[in-house]
Structure 1
Amino acid sequence: MNLLSWNCRGLGNPRTVQDLYRMVEEKRPKVIFLIETKANASRLDGVRRRLGFEGCFVVEAVGRKGGLALLWREEVGVEVYNFSQWHISVWMGKGGESARWLLFGFYGQPETAKRKESWNLLARLCPDSHIAWCVLGDFNEITSQSEKEGGRQSSESQMGAFREALKVNGLFDLGYKGNGFTWCNQHADSSFTRERLDRGVANGEWISKFNVTVVENMVARTSDHSPVLLKLLEGNLGTRRRVKLFKYEAKWATIEGCDQVVEGVWRERGSGLSMQKLQRALTACSGALVRWSKMKEKEEGKNIKEKTAQLEELYNREVPQDVGGVKLLREEVGRLLEQENIKWKQRAKRDWLLLGDQTQSSSTLVLHSGGGRMR
């Protein structure tokens, strides 16, 4: 099973939502924790439907700041335990008490002066040691100077307080695969800074329960934070294929070559036709468009993967001189994601017209700012 945590820096940009959709397609997470959504419940429910998830728990943004959301597949078995503006805590798994464990999606205070409140929250909600507990999210703090490059040195007292919070609560860093830094300010001058702010930590009981885990720091394509993927060993689940009918995609009109495909078929079959031959010409045209579209989608997917790999290479050696290249690649990826988003918007509108609001899930839960506890 895969779990994804990401400080997305707002879901108002279609590129960001499309980037999230691509992550879901590529990594197949069963649970997603989103930080700084800057969105209301209605927006998050639209994202849930876009991703095809059944469950969604929302702590709405306060104005244009903050906002948390947890999305999950129904098969996982999720029960919301408690929440605040800075966390969402859920029981994971089905079956008896011994089979379940506690997942804590966490967002550390971005203001240094208030960081102690975050560690107090961890201590206050720390479960008994026999309960398997994992904390995943953006802690907004580092444990040592080795987790920071550039900028002013971090306060030793602040780092020490974070290390102490982990120690007191019996939490151990789960390590990482990929780039060692999960946030970068993208400055191209001497103020260039990057840090490891996002991570996964867990207590001894959880580590004993899941002794095969990998934390992958993914490439940041649309946010200044890298998504963090927690992988737990699990068997593959089969998927069923559906027969697809031909439907013209609005995004085709934005791609070079679409007109030539239609014109080519029509030149060959479309002049002076009977109604029967006209129908055959339309069928031939739709078939040509589908084949061309599949080829283009493969090219787009390949382009996104190649540019993501180039981004990863630049991030791994990242210096101020690379920032211009990083921004250019992110813009190119953004344009490709926008084209994909046009396709999704058309399909979403079509599905809504056909199904109305039947895609609304009864397991969607909405909470406003503040905190509480659920059993």
Structure 2
Amino acid sequence: METKLDKNRMEKVRRRCGFMNGIEVEVEGSRGGLCLAWKKEISVNLRSFSKWHIDALIKEDNVKEEWRYTGLYGSPYLKDKNTVWNLLRRLDQEANYPWLVEGDFNEILFSFEKSGGVQRDNKRMKAFRETLEDCQLVDIGYSSHLPYSSSDHCPILLDTNKSNAFTGSRKFHFEALWTMEESLEEVIRES
């Protein structure tokens, strides 16, 4: 998550939340700052990090195969967009494991996803869609948003233990990117 906190303060918050293990990336001014926190039963091998990302290999006791997690903070500034998308493409080249990427991309896929404010440039949205398509990202777990306080973003809790997955009724959530999938109509019919 984007923390907007300096490393020491974020470490204190992380520990108060019961996560003794973690990685913090320093905030720059009032923007950015990243944190990845995990429980002691999980082994995390840090691969790389920057002000835009944390990339790690994850090994869980109850899962045979290692998998890869990348937490991404997409720059809100136009001048940095290509840097972040190129970073994501470069990280994709190292994808020898099941890979989950999540975070705040600070971008939208289609203009109807935005309400109010200045209209988003079509070239920016297209570049974002192309980056996601090039990387063929796959979700391997269940995530939910947690309450937040000092940031304008919610922390994300990822639970890969399927027995802990949410089983109650969930509100349907439609992602516009699904319409780009050739198999969409077949999946809808089968459902």
Match of 1:136 in 2: 102
Question: Is the alpha carbon distance of 1:61 and 1:129 closer, same or farther for their aligned partners in structure 2, counting shifts above 3 Å?
Answer: closer
In the TM superposition, residue 128 of structure 1 has moved relative to its aligned partner by 4.9
Aligned partners of 1:127 and 1:133 also within 8 Å: no
Residues 148, 227 of structure 1: alpha-carbon distance in 2 compared, 3 angstrom cutoff: farther
Q: TM-score, structure 2 length as denominator?
A: 0.73
Where in structure 2 are there 5+ consecutive unaligned residues?
165-191
- Matched AA of 1:225: H
TM-score of the aligned structures, taking structure 1 as reference length: 0.39
Residues 1:35 and 2:2 are matched in the alignment: yes
| Whole-angstrom CA distance in 2 between matches of 1:131 and 1:155 | 34
Offset at 1:64? 4.3
Specify whether residues 141 and 129 from structure 1 end up closer, same or farther in structure 2 by C-alpha distance, changes over 3 A only: same
Specify whether residues 218 and 47 from structure 1 end up closer, same or farther in structure 2 by C-alpha distance, changes over 3 A only.
closer
Whether the 8 Å CA contact 2:2–2:153 is kept in 1: the answer is no
Q: What percent of counterpart residues are identical?
A: 37
Judged with a 3 Å threshold, the aligned counterparts in structure 2 of structure 1 residues 222 and 67 are, in CA distance, closer, same or farther, namely closer
Higher fraction of helix: 1
Aligned residues, how many? Answer: 163
Counterpart in 2 of 1:153?
119
Kindly provide the amino acid, as one letter, of the partner of residue 38 in structure 1.
L
Residue 37 (structure 2) aligns with? 71
Change (3 A) 1:134 1:148: same
Q: Structure 1's 110 and 80: CA in aligned 2 closer, same or farther, altered over 3 A? A: same
- The offset of 1:46, in angstroms, is 1.7
**Could you say if the C-alpha distance between residues 227 and 73 of structure 1 is closer, same or farther in structure 2, counting changes exceeding 3 Å?**
closer
Question: How far apart in 1 are the matches of 2:131 and 2:64?
Answer: 26
The Cα of 1:166 is off from its aligned counterpart by 0.5
Q: Distance in 1 between matches of 2:30 and 2:118?
A: 28
The answer as to 2:139 corresponding to 1:224 is: no
Residue 234 of structure 1 aligns with an amino acid whose one-letter code is: K
Q: 1:45-194, aligned counterparts within 5 Å?
A: 45-94=11-60, 99-128=65-94, 130-171=96-137
Task: Report which of the two structures shows the higher radius of gyration computed on alpha carbons.
Answer: 1
Change in Cα spacing, 1:129 to 1:83, as seen in structure 2 (3 Å) is closer
Q: 1:144-171 deviations in whole A, cap 9, x for unaligned?
A: 0121112222111000000000111112
Paired residue secondary structure (1:58): strand
State the 1:129 CA deviation: 5.3
| Counterpart Cα distance in 2 of 1:61 and 1:93 | 28
| Counterparts of 1:222 and 1:214, CA distance in 2 | 24
Identify if the C-alpha distance between structure 1 residues 73 and 231 changes in structure 2 by more than 3 Å, giving closer, same or farther.
Answer: closer
Matches within 5 A, 1:333-372: none
CA displacement at 1:35 relative to structure 2: 1.2
More strand by share: 2
Counterpart position of 2:168: none
Give, in angstroms, the shift of residue 79 of structure 1. 1.2
C-alpha distance in 1 between matches for 2:151 and 2:33? 15
Whole-angstrom CA distance in 2 between matches of 1:144 and 1:73: 36
Relative distance call for 1:230 and 1:74 in structure 2 (3 A) is: closer
Distance in 2, Cα, partners of 1:82 & 1:129: 13
Q: Which runs of 5+ in 1 are unaligned?
A: 1-33, 172-201, 237-375
1:25 alignment partner in structure 2 = none
User: Which digits, 9 at most, give the CA deviation of each residue in 1:63-112, with x for residues without a partner?
Assistant: 444221211111011111111111001111147x9610000010001102
SS at match of 2:130: helix
